Amino acid sequence: MELSVTHRQIAAAAGVSQTTVSFALRNNPKISISVRDRVRRIARSLGYRPNAYVATLMAHVRASRAPHQIATIGFIYTQPTRKAIHDDYVVCRYFTGARNRAADLGYGLDPFWLGDRNMSEKRLSMILAHRGIAGVVLGPLAFDTPSRFAGGHIHMDWSRLVTVALGRTIAEPEVDRACHDNFSAMLELMERLIGRGYRRIGLALHHKDDDRVNHLWLAGFLTRLHGQKLIAPLEPLLAREWSYEVFRSWYRENHPDCVISHGIITRLWLEKCDAAKRRKTGFATVSWNPSKIGLAGMYQNYERIGAMAINMVVGRLQRNEPGLPESPHSLLVKGRWVEGKSIRSSAIQTAIE
């Protein structure tokens, strides 16, 4: 039976203490990078493998210890006003889900408004360091984001932070993310509309809405159309000039029997368009929320995404993995279909078929 390599053996080979070995193998910043690398190299050469059961137990012990002071995670947001943390529908729900999950795990969650012109990225980095905050969640950028965040770039000292972004609007730094699964949401939305008998389904979006999700709504729409027996699949509208006139021109040229879009403004345009009213054109939204009364569409489960971001931050904090990841990964959260009067009912579907 092969015996496991111990920390004592690694310490003897490296000429350091067992405590140093333990810290080095857990990537503890108390040990210099050069020593950490040397200890790990020696451990690998000796055939060392951590015991997964012991590692899990110790993580649980560390997490369950009653701290003298509750550890805090930061929630950074860049919306135009400080009150967005309470007033912006999406940011508020991300924050609520993240705060509740953080509390479940024994952490506090404090908001930091980076949209304040007096709050620079350098200053916020210093504040986080001073307060001993080692993990942060990056909220999504606003639709009309301040020019200093153009291109989705936020420049802070990320070397000592565990960072997880919400959604796909942050382009730099490249970090781990918790996101809504926009692609599968569009596939499900299309499936439900086709099931209700719609055959001329049109996609109408402001180009920025599709840009913010890396074109995954468009990709899902086109994928579902491929091979589907629809009557003359329609050219999507991805407008740079988002106006009623542009929408009406597209509608008159394509005559969709149902329109998929993002905001409620498109629904109002349909109600304003005489041709759409005559045809009783259906409408479904890719971003449902309770204010969109009567609309059918996909809810993006913001609270769940916020909670998953906290799980990712806490996991890396407990594994002592600060800094930008070498290979960032994304955790996708499935959306939820919400019925609404803006599309045909199931009973009408039977009559159509």
User: 342: number of CA atoms within 13 Å, CB side?
Assistant: 25
User: 175: number of CA atoms within 13 Å, CB side?
Assistant: 36
The structure's pTM equals: 0.79
CB 73 within 8 Å of CB 107: yes
CB proximity list for 201: less than 8 A, separation 6 or greater:
190, 193, 194, 230, 234, 256, 257, 258, 259, 260
Per-residue pLDDT reduced to its tens digit, 66-123: 444 568 999 999 998 999 999 999 999 999 999 999 999 999 999 999 988 889 999 9
Domains and CATH numbers, the chain: 7-50 (no CATH), 71-173+303-333 (3.40.50.2300), 182-299+337-352 (3.40.50.2300)
The pLDDT, as a whole number, for residue 148 is 75
In order of 144, 250, 278, the CA distances from 243 in angstroms are 17, 11, 21
The pLDDT, as a whole number, for residue 101 is 95
The pLDDT, as a whole number, for residue 38 is 86
The pLDDT, as a whole number, for residue 69 is 52
Distance (Å, whole) CA 318 – CA 81: 33
Distance (Å, whole) CA 270 – CA 287: 17
What residues of the chain score a pLDDT lower than 70? 1-3, 27-30, 51-70, 145-147, 227-232, 292, 347-353
CB 59 within 8 Å of CB 40: no
Per-residue pLDDT reduced to its tens digit, 147-189: 678 778 899 999 999 999 999 999 888 999 999 999 999 999 9
